[in-house]
Amino acid sequence: MTTVDTIPSPFPALFSPLRIGSVTLRNRIVSSGHDTVMAIDGKVSDQLVAYQEARAAGGAGLIVIQVGAVHPTADYTAHALQLYRDDAIPGYTRLAEAIHRHGCAVFAQIFHGGREVMDSIDGALPVAIAPSAVPNERFHVIPQAMTLKLIDEVVAGYAAAAVRVQTAGMDGVEIVASHGYLPAQFLNPELNTRTDRYGGSFENRLRFLREVIAAVRTAIGREFVVGLRISIDEMNPTGLTRDTTLHALRELDADGTLDYVSVVAGSSATLAGSDHIVPPMTMENAYTAPLAALAREIVQVPVIVAGRVNQPQEAERILELGQADAVAMTRALITDPLLPVKAATGRAEEIRACIGCNQACIGHFHAGYPISCIQYPESGRELLYGQLRRVSAARDVLVVGGGPGGLKAASRPPAVIG
Ligand SMILES: Cc1cc2nc3c(=O)[nH]c(=O)nc-3n(C[C@H](O)[C@H](O)[C@H](O)COP(=O)(O)O)c2cc1C
Ligand code: SF4
C-alpha cells in the first residue's frame, strides 16, 4: 500500500515531522477547523466521521475539528456542534478513532462566538452575549453585556469542553480567539467598553482569554496540547490590529501555557473582514504567510498558517522561508483529500486544485447545506459515493456525450489509495 510515510518526498520540508507539545505530526499539512454543517442534533454524525476519515486517509498530518460550542449561548448557527453536552463525547471518540486509524493527529476547536450569532433553530431573533452591548453590523445582532457571573460560567464552559475533547481520545484542543469571536471581542477596545476588571487597559482586555487558557490548562493538565487560533489582522476598520494581537501573543507566549499558534486574518464582524475568513480567488495565494512570520518572530511555539494555499509547492516555500512551521491547506483538502499522498509520491500534477470560488464549501455553509466542492462532488458525500477502489479486471468503456460530465468521465480516472 502506498502511503505518505513510505515514499521519499519531493517536498522535504512539508513531509518532515513536526512536534507540537506532546504530539508529533507525520507531516506539516493541516486541515484547519471548518464547519461542515454535518452536525445532527448538535452531535457528530456518521457523515462527518466519513468526511474527516477521507482526509486522514489521504495523508494529512493534522486535522482540526470545526468549532464546538462551549456554552448554550455559543450556538452560533442552528447546526453547531455542542461541546457543552456530555453526550457529545461518543461522537468525538468516533472521529478520533477514524482519524488515528490512518496515522493522522486530531485536535478540536473550542468556541464561543459572542455577538457573532448567525441564526437560531426556529428563526427567532437569537439572544447573544458579548463583553458589551455593541451591535453587530453583519448579522444585525444586539448582544447583552455579560455579567461577571456569566463570564465565570463561560470560562468554566471552555474548560469543561476541553475535558470532553480529552476524554474522547483526541490529541489536543484549539481555543478560537480568531475572526472577531468572543475572546477577540474582549481584546478589542471598540467592542469592549467595560469599566470592570475585564475592560479598559490592555491587561484587563486580555484577562478573559488568559483566564480561558489557564482554566483549560488546569483542567486537562500539561501534556494535552492546547493551541490558539488568532487573526493577526482582522482587516476591518473596527477590528483588531496587528499591534494589539502581536502584543497579546507576546504576553500569552511568556505565560508558557500554549503549545502552538494558528494564524489567520479577518473577522466575522463585517463583510470586509469576513472576506478574509475564507479568502476568495481575488486574494493572492499564501498572502497571510507574512502575518504568520510576524507571529513566528514573537512566539517560541510552532506557528500554523492558513490562507489560500492550494498547492504543495506554495506550502513548501512558506516552510523554506521560515514563515510558518505548518500550513493549513483546508479547501485544498476539500477539493482533493488525496493531495498529501499525491504530493508525497511524485504525482503533484494529479492534484485537483481548489480555485477559491467559495461556492460549495463556505457557500453551502451560508445556505445551511453540508459542505462539498464544485470540483469534487464526492467531498462531503463520502457515505453516498464511498471509497474508489481499483477494479480487479480492466475493461474498455465508451462514454457517449462530450459535455463537461462526459469529458470528465472519459478523462484519466482519479487516483485511488492502494
Ligand atoms: C466551510 C468552511 C467553514 C469554516 N469554519 C471554520 C471554523 O469552524 N473554524 C475556524 O477557525 N475556521 C473556519 N473556517 C476557515 C478555515 O479554517 C480556513 O482558515 C480557511 O478556509 C482558509 O484556509 P484555506 O485557504 O486553506 O481554505 C472555515 C472555512 C470553510 C471553507
Ligand atoms: S467549492 Fe471547492 S474549489 Fe471552490 S473554493 Fe470551495 S473547496 Fe475550493
- Identify the pLDDT of residue 80: 95
The per-residue pLDDT for range 36-80, each reduced to its tens digit, is 999 999 999 999 999 999 999 999 999 999 999 999 999 999 999
pLDDT 10s digits, 303-315 = 999 999 999 999 9
Residue nearest to atom 28 of ligand 1 (CA): 34
Q: List domains and CATH numbers for the chain.
A: 18-392 (3.20.20.70)
Say if residues 255 and 300 touch (Cβ distance below 8 Å). no
Rounded Cα distance, 224 and 239, in Å: 31
Distance 377 CA to ligand 2 centre (A): 10
Amino acid in position 299: V
Tell how far the Cα of 353 is from the centroid of ligand 2, in angstroms: 9
Ligand 2 pocket, residues with Cβ under 6 angstroms: 331, 334-335, 354-361, 373-375
Q: Specify the pLDDT at position 153.
A: 98
The distance between the two most distant Cα atoms of the chain, rounded to a whole number of Å, is 75
Task: Choose the catalytic residue: 181, 198, 260, 376.
Answer: 181
Q: Which atom of ligand 2 is nearest to the CA of 356?
A: 5
Contact between 159 and 83 under an 8 Å Cβ cutoff? The reply is: no
Residue 181 annotated as catalytic = yes
* Adjacent-strand bridge partners of 82: 69
* Alpha helices (H) along 113-241: 148-167, 182-187, 202-220
Q: How far is CA 371 from CA 20, 38, 223, 256, 364, in A?
A: 29, 8, 33, 36, 6
Question: Does pLDDT of 413 surpass 70?
Answer: no
Q: Give the Å distance between the CA of 95 and the centre of ligand 2.
A: 23
Can you tell me which atom of ligand 2 is nearest the CA of 358? 5
- pLDDT at position 409 over 90: no
Instruction: Give the residue-averaged pLDDT of 283-307.
Output: 98
Rounded average pLDDT over 252-263: 97
Give the model confidence (pLDDT) of 126-150 as tens digits: 789 999 999 998 998 999 999 999 9
* Torsion angle, alpha carbons of 259, 265, 269, 274, to 10: -130
CB 76 within 8 A of CB 118: yes
* Residue that wins the pLDDT comparison between 373 and 411: 373
Task: Tell me the three cell numbers of residue 159.
Answer: 474548560
State how far the Cα of 288 lies from the Cα of 293, in Å rounded to an integer. Answer: 9
Q: Which of 34, 38, 64, 303 to mutate to test ligand 1, by most ligand atoms within 8 A of the CB atom? A: 34
What pLDDT score does 4 carry?
A: 52
From the CA of 360, give the closest atom in ligand 2.
1
Contacts of 30 (CB under 8 A, 6+ apart): 60, 61, 62, 63, 64, 304, 306, 326, 327, 328, 329, 330
The predicted pLDDT at position 1 comes to 46
